Amino acid sequence: MKIYESAVRKPIMTALVFVGVIILGLFSLRNLPVDLMPDIDMNVLMVVTTYQGASAADIETNVTRPLENVLNTVPNLKELTSFSRENRSIVMLHFEFGKDLDELTNDVRDKLNLVQAMLPDAAEDPVIMKFSADMIPVIMLSATADKSIPALYRILDDNVANRLARIEGVGAASIAGAPQREIHVYVDPIKMEAHRLTVEVLAQKIGAENLNVPAGSMDIGNETFSLRVQGEFTDPNQINNIIVGSFAGKPIYLSDVATVVDGFEERAQENYTNGVQGAMIVVQKQSGANTVEIANEVMKALPEIQKNLPPDVKLEVINDTSDNIKKTIAGLEETVLLAFLFVMIVVLFFLGRWRASIIIILTIPVSLIASFIYLYATGGSLNVISLSSLSIAIGMVVDDAIVVLENITTHIERGSRPKSAAVHATNEVSLSIVASTLTLIAVFFPLTLVTGFAGILFKELGWIVTIIMTTSLICAMTLIPMMSAHMLRLDRNPTKLTLKIYGPIQRFLDKLDILYAQLVNWTVRNRAKTLILTTLFFFASLVPMITVGTEFFPASDGGFISARVELPIGTQMEITKDLAMKLTNKWKEENPEIEMISFNVGQASSFNIFGSLQASGSNIFSANIRMVELNKRSVSVYELIEKIQKELDVLPEVAKYNVSTGQGGMMMGGQSQLAIEIYGYDFKETDRIARELQTRLDNNIPGLSNTQVSREEYVPEYQVDFDRDKLALHGLNIATASIFLKNRINGLIASLYREDGEEYMVRISYDPRYRQSLADVENILIYNNQGQAIRIKDVGTVVERFTPPTIERKDRQRVVTVSATISGTTMDKAVAAIQGEIDKIDIPSEIIVDIGGAYEDQQETFADLGLLFIIIVLLVYIVMASQFESLTYPFIIMFSVPFGISGVVLIMWLTGGTLNLMSFIGLIMLVGIVVKNGIVLVDYINLNRERGMGIIRAVVAGGRSRLRPVLMTTATTIFGMLPLALSQSEGSEMWRPMALTVIGGLTVSTILTLLVVPVFYSLAAAIGVRRQSKKMAKKFAPENQQAMSY
């Protein structure tokens, strides 16, 4: 018994199987986490090797190169870059996407074992670090305070950070911008010198006084008591009373030579939100944890946390990454619902019957829900990809159902009882719906096999659409006949209401049928004219191609800007802070779109995990700007970025800046970055070319902004050059001398002061007054073993020097990168212009200049997709050829594909879109979608011919009879995509090009397919008939007949 036969015979089983699927699917949906993107394994490993005391060039030769030579052989490696700077070598390994990072880590570790022996003895063992998307903070909170500023760090640490870190999935909650308490002992070098005291001695004395010592236990009477000395300071002021020495029989108290200040660590980062000082709390997730869940938990905990804080401490959210995710997903959910609604309307429009429409529409939820089971089973999530896949599939799942239902209706109208009509009608079309579903699967299944960057994006899309299409096929062959058998009735006398509503539509569609039949009749009789006209149209439609640009990935507007502004190196924090204050206030005033702006300034302490990952320094401030919601503003994030960039451009005190959409980082959204890589060993030459290129890009190419040269400028610093002979003369060595220097300027941690279970550092250093000039450094006293005091200026000189910058390498060659952001032009134009500028620069033969960055990714991905396109076209051809058992017909149908391309070019031209990754995918999908129309048409024309019609009559009648199903399936697909193309919600920028591609391509291709396929068919069929008759004539020619009859 065939599957549809048993489905009709056993309606209860069929219905309950589908009910079961729906229940399972809804259960899966309830448990599906929400995320922005499918789980992406990061593909970068970092090998860090420390070699104290080596210069950048030494590191490059002795550490980085041997490492690179060995690591280069690790399998699956895509790119090898390295940074050699003073004391440290960092080798970054970029792997192909989608590989198991743990396995790669093991490979790298094996290779490192090989190379370890070759590294200098003094170099430490290389450490492997993983890069991951989890480092991107989930939530950034700001805490502003007024009176509580001094204790802010502790308040936040106790009440906020610790509380948040307890939330499941939170990896770290770190506080930036709240200075930590520190007890300073500021010594007066002159008094110290008078008493022959040193910082080291003071530290020792403080350490010796700040002790708790257990003294054992003693028995008193029948009991045992333990004895201890509680010598620790209970008040920082007690440090003042320590006796540090004696002079002429009188004790010298610490207060005689130093002052104790209970204050904050020096050189801390400061944070301001909307102009009010406070701190920033950064919440990062554990790897694999769900961003939205964590953010929800954090948000839930915040009101309670706020209650426990002092009244002047206010918590505010700076950036909640889950917000963007939630909005994007909500927008997409709306899109899916709208698509569902549109498809319903289209089905009703064409069918005009409630029962039939309901049967067809029912396939949509059933098929979609089946994909949730897949997602749940494979640990997927509701994300941009999976939801868009649903939206894409909605218009296509009804196609099979429509074909089946239409045939069942025909059978019922011919007089069959619904039950037998359902079985026989399904039987008739089963082969053709299997074939048309197979062509779609031939398009989407290969997407699951794509590797690289595109693979991550489209694996899930491929699987989901494949699963949905398969389910819809099963539905069309079981659920639809079953329901038709029980629900469809022969409706000979429609009610007045139906007639009134549906009458005009019916008349319109009938008229359309007749018009189309006349048109086809004309075209097949004027084949040459039709072909010339359509060919002309095809080439004319390609003309706008010149104006359509390409880019890699559509930029999206997340409403978040991060800006890093650098002043000249060495600028004091106060000055940087003033500028930051001035600028942020100005931005906030001038741009009402800005909802909140916060910035931090200064050197991040080493305890601050998040801060230490970013560039920080007294001359740098980084600002985070959050804009109001997308639909409440008219200014896009890019326009604001450009405005800010323009303002920064004219400020003379700004040395360097970087303003970008700080979301997602490497892949999603953001504007495209172009990187021009200059390979060459010679620093001077490459520097020259890089600078020249930078000026040329700035001056000659419009539409590029934010050009930067990766190699930093030479950094000025003071160095103390010790004279070894003089040091030796005084019985000193460099190590002793430099430690003395460090203890006085940077300070020496003498002990830890404990209060309420917290530990604070007691740091001894020169009073700030005595470390403000070079003379202060030169006057520092060093004591040797004989107790003699020697000034630094007697054994060395203080000089200003420039340290060489970090040496960057890529694929084992030194490289300088000039990067630029594309805004206001398209990638292909920018690349062409840049290439022109490069050609004008005088470049020696040993230096190679390459354009990389997003352009490189684009080229790679487009090459991959181009190959995929060809494979898919071949696969679709194979499926069609096997269905028709002919090599000609599929070829005829394939003529719809070039017209699809015409449509894509036209719609891109009309809407000002660009060709990017997403539209390319749309184009690939188009191959499967447009040929479906051809299949339906050719299949029916063939049928007519088998029934004995002549070629032209078969074509005209076939076209007329298939017009409605073709229009209907096309309309469902187009209207299903429409919400995706029109959506204004967050993240919609990403899918718009794809939806537009499909809509444009399918519209143009359908119209032309309906005209051209009949023409080509009649041509091919005529040739076939002529050949056949020639063959026959030959076979039955008199001489042959004789031979045959012996």
Partner 1 sequence: MKAVFIHFDQAHKDDVIRILDKYMVHGFTLWDNTQGRGTRNGEPHYGSHAWPSLNNSIMTVVENDMVSKLKTALKELDEISPMLGLRVFVLNVEDVY
Between helices 917-946 and 418-444, what is the axis angle to 10°? Answer: 140
Closer CB to partner 1, residue 21 or residue 954?
A: 954
Residues shown for the chain: 1046
Please, which residues have CB within 8 angstroms of residue 344's CB and are 6 or more apart in sequence?
357, 361
Closer CB to partner 1, residue 9 or residue 588?
A: 9
Query: Reduced to 3 states, what is the DSSP secondary structure of residue 198?
Result: coil
* Residue 533 binds partner 1 (CB under 8 A): no
Closer CB to partner 1, residue 223 or residue 946?
A: 946
In eight-state DSSP terms, residue 633 is: -
**Residue from 10, 195, 424, 527 binding partner 1 (CB under 8 A):** 424
Closer CB to partner 1, residue 50 or residue 427?
A: 427
In the complex, least distance from residue 426 CB atom to partner 1, rounded to whole angstroms: 11
In the complex, least distance from residue 2 CB atom to partner 1, rounded to whole angstroms: 13
Residue carrying the six token digits 């520190």: 182
* Residue 562 binds partner 1 (CB under 8 A): no
Rounded Cα distance, 944 and 768, in Å: 99
**Residue from 434, 942, 961, 1019 binding partner 1 (CB under 8 A):** 942
Region of 456-464, 654-662, 938-946, 987-995 interacting with partner 1 (CB under 8 A) = 938-946
Rounded Cα distance, 24 and 471, in Å: 14
Over its C-alpha atoms, the chain yields an Rg (Å, rounded) of 38
**Residue from 419, 527, 656, 829 binding partner 1 (CB under 8 A):** 419
**Are the beta carbons of 968 and 402 closer than 8 angstroms?**
yes
**Are the beta carbons of 805 and 715 closer than 8 angstroms?**
yes
Alpha helix (H) ranges present in 414-495?
Answer: 418-444, 452-477, 479-487
Closer CB to partner 1, residue 30 or residue 947?
A: 947
Closer CB to partner 1, residue 9 or residue 94?
A: 9
**Are the beta carbons of 926 and 900 closer than 8 angstroms?**
yes
Rounded Cα distance, 864 and 901, in Å: 19
* Residue 947 binds partner 1 (CB under 8 A): yes
Burial class (CB in 10 A: 0-12, 13-18, 19+), 84: buried
In the complex, least distance from residue 538 CB atom to partner 1, rounded to whole angstroms: 32
Q: What is the footprint of partner 1 within residues 34-73 (CB under 8 A)? A: none
Closer CB to partner 1, residue 415 or residue 757?
A: 415
**Are the beta carbons of 395 and 974 closer than 8 angstroms?**
yes
In the complex, least distance from residue 958 CB atom to partner 1, rounded to whole angstroms: 12
**Residue from 50, 274, 290, 416 binding partner 1 (CB under 8 A):** 416
In the complex, least distance from residue 414 CB atom to partner 1, rounded to whole angstroms: 4
* Residue 878 binds partner 1 (CB under 8 A): no
Closer CB to partner 1, residue 58 or residue 428?
A: 428
Q: x/- site string to partner 1, residues 427 to 446, per CB under 8 A?
A: xx------------------
Region of 448-456, 522-530, 943-951, 956-964 interacting with partner 1 (CB under 8 A) = 943-951
**Are the beta carbons of 892 and 1013 closer than 8 angstroms?**
yes
DSSP string covering 870-925 = HHHHHHHHHHHHHHHT-SHHHHHHTTHHHHHHHHHHHHHHHHT--B-HHHHHHHHH
Closer CB to partner 1, residue 391 or residue 430?
A: 430
**Are the beta carbons of 723 and 845 closer than 8 angstroms?**
no
Closer CB to partner 1, residue 429 or residue 782?
A: 429
* Residue 565 binds partner 1 (CB under 8 A): no
Closer CB to partner 1, residue 784 or residue 888?
A: 888
**Residue from 420, 526, 733, 1028 binding partner 1 (CB under 8 A):** 420
In the complex, least distance from residue 947 CB atom to partner 1, rounded to whole angstroms: 5
Region of 418-426, 624-632, 809-817, 928-936 interacting with partner 1 (CB under 8 A) = 418-426
How many other β-carbons are positioned within 10 Å of the β-carbon of residue 475? 26
* Residue 486 binds partner 1 (CB under 8 A): no
Q: What is the footprint of partner 1 within residues 456-475 (CB under 8 A)? A: none
Closer CB to partner 1, residue 416 or residue 506?
A: 416
* Residue 2 binds partner 1 (CB under 8 A): no
In the complex, least distance from residue 406 CB atom to partner 1, rounded to whole angstroms: 14
Burial class (CB in 10 A: 0-12, 13-18, 19+), 958: buried
Cα–Cα distances in angstroms (integers) from residue 999 to residues 82, 281, 361, 387, in the given order: 45, 46, 21, 18
In the complex, least distance from residue 1017 CB atom to partner 1, rounded to whole angstroms: 16
How many other β-carbons are positioned within 10 Å of the β-carbon of residue 768? 11
In the complex, least distance from residue 1009 CB atom to partner 1, rounded to whole angstroms: 22
Categorise residue 724: left if φ over 0, alpha if ψ from -120 to 50, beta otherwise. Answer: alpha
**Are the beta carbons of 266 and 252 closer than 8 angstroms?**
no
* Residue 421 binds partner 1 (CB under 8 A): yes
**Residue from 495, 946, 1042, 1043 binding partner 1 (CB under 8 A):** 946
Give me the phi and psi of 362, to 5 degrees please: -60, -30
- Torsion angle, alpha carbons of 948, 951, 956, 957, to 10: 10
Query: 685-718 burial string, b = 16+ CB within 10 Å, else e?
Result: bbbbbbebbbebbeeebeebbbbbbbbeeeeeee
In the complex, least distance from residue 889 CB atom to partner 1, rounded to whole angstroms: 13
Closer CB to partner 1, residue 314 or residue 419?
A: 419
Closer CB to partner 1, residue 425 or residue 966?
A: 425
Residues that contact partner 1, how many (by CB under 8 A)? 16
* Residue 9 binds partner 1 (CB under 8 A): no
Closer CB to partner 1, residue 159 or residue 944?
A: 944
* Residue 511 binds partner 1 (CB under 8 A): no
* Residue 417 binds partner 1 (CB under 8 A): yes
In the complex, least distance from residue 929 CB atom to partner 1, rounded to whole angstroms: 24
In the complex, least distance from residue 703 CB atom to partner 1, rounded to whole angstroms: 58
Between helices 917-946 and 854-884, what is the axis angle to 10°? Answer: 10
Residue carrying the six token digits 């070629």: 951
Q: x/- site string to partner 1, residues 395 to 414, per CB under 8 A?
A: ----------------x--x
How many other β-carbons are positioned within 10 Å of the β-carbon of residue 254? 24
In the complex, least distance from residue 428 CB atom to partner 1, rounded to whole angstroms: 4
Binding site for partner 1 (CB under 8 A): 411, 414-417, 419-421, 424, 427-428, 942-944, 946-947
